[in-house]
Amino acid sequence: MRDSAGLSPDFAVPHGARLSLRAGAYYNRPALPEAPNERPARIVTDLPWSLAGLMARIGPVDDAAMRRAATRQGVLTKPPGSLGRLEEVAARLAGMFGTARPAIGGKAVIVAAGDHGVVAQGVTGYPQSVTGQMVRNFLEGGAAINVLCRLGGVRRIVVDAGVASDPPPEHPDLRSLRMGPGTGDITLGPAMTRRQAVLCLEYGAGLASEVIADGADLVATGDMGIGNTTPSSAIAAAMTGKHPVETTGEGTGRSAEELLRKTAVVETALEVNSPDPGDSIDVLAKVGGFEIAVLAGVVLGTAAERRAVVLDGFISGAAALIAHGLSPACRDYLIASHRSAEKGHRAVLAHMRLDPLLDLAMRLGEGTGAVLAMGIVEAAAACLTEMATFEEAGVSDRPDNDAVAEEAEG
């Protein structure tokens, strides 16, 4: 695995600035400072200023906007609470966007791809070459995520974060980071250097800023990487404190015997690397993946822009755990699209106190669950923003709702 000191896209921008990572663009900046040999157990103090500045921009949601949204819900032409969780989602969007009437403009999904050295341990039934082949399939429009994006009018960006095969041809939807030809085998040592982890985080944040600058109000996370449920299981165990038995699932379809082997691989990775759960970058560098790191950056960058992150399944959840560890405030900008069939996803969601919108036994990845749920999120905002109030529609409300109506008008 090559060191990434020379591969350093420039994401260090002042507060409020926008970033552009267009296809074919190249950026350079001085190498990041080396991390000190010793770090405090519960706080990360050696972040490069660009990442530290990014996290400083992630503030709390607007409680006043959420209250105004809740008040408006109470006077729309429907019984209170009758739209169920759509009302909860709409109120959360109001807090994220800072307005009682949030509107969804554009939607985008960032699908990050990377390979994993741990596949050498027999944790998956598919050859590693499938990662690169699927990247090409994404770009040619033949995957499930392409179908759902077309159906929902969602922009798709594909990131080669570190695929082992030859790079795909240039494409307007492709972003090439190529941090390395896959990560290291986490049963033998770290997945990547700390510097590589930070660069991937910054790159992901830059991508989020790009799509938001282009009009996206909802940003979904998607992944592709043969073997990536293994590092995700390791991240989930490290960050939640759960035993690998509770975070390791079948992935692309393991037999009972193969699942035991996979669980043992996760245990070995944790024993060999001893990731510090109080230092999310340490966890990411030791047992993570390049595509997971990019998606964690997407979460941070979207939260910094006060827009909604629509999380996909287990791998996206592992990325969100890393982002949440770096900035707990980003949790309020997360919408869990669905509950994956991967059992480790339950531990991930519980740790961040996220209640998924859907439970369809999906476990494909690619961002499919997130893009599918975007329509629900968009509907929640539209109902809050576009429905008429009782007064506007000339419909009689319950007599005891007059005070609520007066408050909504105020």
Q: Which residue has the tokens 């599918």?
A: 372
φ, ψ (nearest 5 deg) of residue 329: -65, -20
Query: Tell me, what's the pLDDT at 257?
Result: 86
Total-model pTM: 0.87
CB atoms within 10 A of CB 210: 20
Name the CA dihedral angle for 310, 311, 313, 315, rounded to a multiple of 10 degrees: 150
Query: Tell me, what's the pLDDT at 148?
Result: 98
Return d(Cα 314, Cα 351) in angstroms, integer.
13
Per-residue pLDDT tens over the stretch 177-191: 999 999 999 999 999
Show me where the domains of the chain are located: 49-59+103-382
Q: Mean pLDDT of residues grouped by 10 in the chain (410 residues)? A: 33 33 31 31 51 92 97 96 97 98 97 98 94 97 98 98 95 95 98 96 96 97 97 98 93 78 97 97 98 98 98 98 97 97 95 97 96 98 97 86 51
How buried is 353 (Cβ within 10 angstroms: 0-12 exposed, 13-18 middle, 19+ buried)?
exposed
288: nearest Cα among 275, 301, 271: 275
Query: Tell me, what's the pLDDT at 37?
Result: 29
| 147, 183 Cβ separation under 8 angstroms | no
Query: Where in the sequence numbering do the catalytic residues fall?
Result: 366
Task: Identify the architecture of domain 49-59+103-382 in CATH.
Answer: 3-Layer(aba) Sandwich (3.40)
Name the CA dihedral angle for 171, 177, 179, 185, rounded to a multiple of 10 degrees: -60
| 312, 335 Cβ separation under 8 angstroms | no
Query: Tell me, what's the pLDDT at 369?
Result: 98
Query: Tell me, what's the pLDDT at 207?
Result: 96
Return d(Cα 340, Cα 359) in angstroms, integer.
7
Query: Tell me, what's the pLDDT at 402?
Result: 53
